[in-house]
Structure 1
Amino acid sequence: MSPTQQEKYRTFKELHERAGAFVIPNPWNAGTAKILTSLGFEALATTSAGIAFSLGRQDGLAALTREETLANCREIVDASDLPVSADLEDGFGAAPENCVETIQWAIEAGLVGGSIEDATGDPENPIYDFELAVERIHAASEACQGQPFLLTARSENFIRGRLDLDDTIRRLQAFERAGADVLYAPGLPDLNAIKAVCDAVSKPVNVVMGLVGVTFSVDELAEAGVKRVSVGGSMARAALGGLMEAATEIKERGTFTYGDRALSNKVANDLMS
């Protein structure tokens, strides 16, 4: 019998409470969710970039509607018995009420966690003003009360051109006070910055790996104080990289050796069973 949403939530919560760090990889559809589940990971997270690429769109806050995002989330939830946390972008609207509605819909979709970020999608003003950003997380946290859902609050400074560690920490500390369960600042440049963030807050910290030039190990991240390690859209990009290599070999050399590195049809079928 498949675990209930409440049971998945308890499992997910316990992962954040035990010693050390755990990896939460990011599938982008049912098939990749099944593959990652088969490899023994303990939880999954969705990726807006992976969904966008699979739909032939550029990654960005305007790339996906809330309905498309949550439909993808349901597909992944239904494909695996693991807890699933979602990339809920900026809550699909600037107003705190948008965040509340998105959290409610996420819970209805069977998710047991999700992230709300402080990026606006506006190149002229890429980060929500501090007070509004905190208000949005507070509203989202209130929507989670009594629900089987862990809220992750994201400070987007470092991937939106604002390389300000002090402001990033100030925001994460405020998000913690506002009720976030997990804190996340993607794009931190080095282990010193990661450790500074972990030391500055008391809630579990998520970091993203798989970015170009960032190669810290799980053990190194755990030593710095990290609790959860996600990979964002990097696995989707790795899959696209494999496709590009195979297609380029055919087009430029007229050979098909990529087939030796591909999953066999039997293995692929077995993984989807």
Structure 2
Amino acid sequence: MTDAVGVLRALHHGRGAGRGPLVLPGPWDAASARAFEEAGFPALATPSAAVAASLGYEDGATPAAEMFAAIARITRSVSVPVSADVEGGYGLAAEELVGRVLDAGAVGVNLEDSEDGVLLDPRAHADRLAGVRAAAGGALFVNARVDSYLRGVADPEEAIARARLYVGAGADCVYPIGVPPEHLPLLRSRIEGPLNVAYLPGGPSVRELGRLGATRVTFGPGLMHRAMAAVRDIAGQVRRSS
């Protein structure tokens, strides 16, 4: 695809109320990636937890080499832009991290601001994001995950402060994972640029998340969990009939 990162950036902007949020399914392998592309989605965003499960690892325990190999299998199986969740970056320097993501064929990257369940210093993380953006030279769409809600900080001001630092450091989009839906309008009013929100079963619909302020909606490992529930149901049917 020509200028895939430009395509991915364009998908995040100019989304009026009538268009709704950008919906990015999360493939965990080549087969799921092809299924999502065939369904008509214009881009994909890998979830590290789902990729880990597909490889037989707990979330956060996938070796970097296996994660990048899995991302490469996904990107080469589709023609749409792919953003890769690389957790905290596996301890790689910005230049090496960017090189490995690009070598794997991804044009976007998702980076977390906590490690081992502990929030990182936001200014240090902003410097890290700035380094990644500089090393990429515009070749990667940088989605900065904000983990404050996930780590038990319920005050929206913490998420807002972190998000604003990350946008200032060059992040293309921020992702306050676990944000309560009722906080979304406040975050939308205080944060410049695209806002990534996770869809959760039983929560607001994708369209409602867009109305509340989401620019982009992702699913984490949720779609894989639904697929595996279907597999277990099929397995049960086959077992009962044998």
TM-score (norm 2): 0.91
Deviations 1:109-168 (A, max 9, x none): 2211111110112x4xx11122222221121121222x3211111111222333332111
Deviations 1:165-197 (A, max 9, x none): 21111100100111101111111122x212222
1:205 to 195, 211, 233: 195
Give the aligned partner of residue 45 of structure 2. Answer: 45
1:1-273 aligned within 5 A:
3-4=1-2, 6=3, 8-19=4-15, 20-60=20-60, 63-93=61-91, 98-121=93-116, 123=117, 126-145=118-137, 147-190=138-181, 192-209=182-199, 211-214=200-203, 216-249=204-237, 254-255=240-241
AA aligned to 2:188 is C
User: Larger radius of gyration, structure 1 or 2?
Assistant: 1
Task: Return the offset for 1:249.
Answer: 4.8
CA distance in 1, matches of 2:206, 2:122: 31
CA distance in 2, matches of 1:17, 1:139: 24
CA distance in 2, matches of 1:183, 1:51: 21
AA aligned to 2:27 is P
CA distance in 2, matches of 1:163, 1:248: 41
CA distance in 2, matches of 1:241, 1:152: 29
Which deviates more, 147-156 or 168-177? 147-156
AA aligned to 1:233 is P
Deviations 1:78-109 (A, max 9, x none): 0100000010111112xxx6244212211222
Seen in structure 2, the aligned counterparts of structure 1 residues 213 and 162 have a Cα distance that, compared at 3 Å, is farther
CA contact (8 A) 1:25 1:44 kept: yes
AA aligned to 1:34 is R
AA aligned to 2:195 is V
Task: Return the offset for 1:45.
Answer: 0.8
AA aligned to 1:132 is A
CA contact (8 A) 1:100 1:140 kept: yes
CA distance in 1, matches of 2:95, 2:156: 28
* Consecutive unaligned residues in structure 1, runs of 5 or more: 257-273
Task: Return the offset for 1:66.
Answer: 1.8
Which deviates more, 235-244 or 23-32? 235-244
SS at structure 2 position matched to 1:163: coil
CA distance in 1, matches of 2:84, 2:194: 17
- May I ask how many residue pairs the two structures share in their alignment? 238
Deviations 1:231-272 (A, max 9, x none): 111111111112223334556xx248xxxxxxxxxxxxxxxx
Seen in structure 2, the aligned counterparts of structure 1 residues 56 and 15 have a Cα distance that, compared at 3 Å, is same
CA contact (8 A) 2:123 2:165 kept: no
CA distance in 2, matches of 1:193, 1:200: 11
CA distance in 2, matches of 1:196, 1:65: 37
* Alignment RMSD (CA, Å): 1.8
Runs of 4+ with deviation above 4 angstroms:
248-251
Give the aligned partner of residue 259 of structure 1. Answer: none
* Consecutive unaligned residues in structure 2, runs of 5 or more: none
CA distance in 2, matches of 1:247, 1:108: 37
SS at structure 2 position matched to 1:71: helix
CA distance in 2, matches of 1:138, 1:11: 22
SS at structure 2 position matched to 1:79: coil
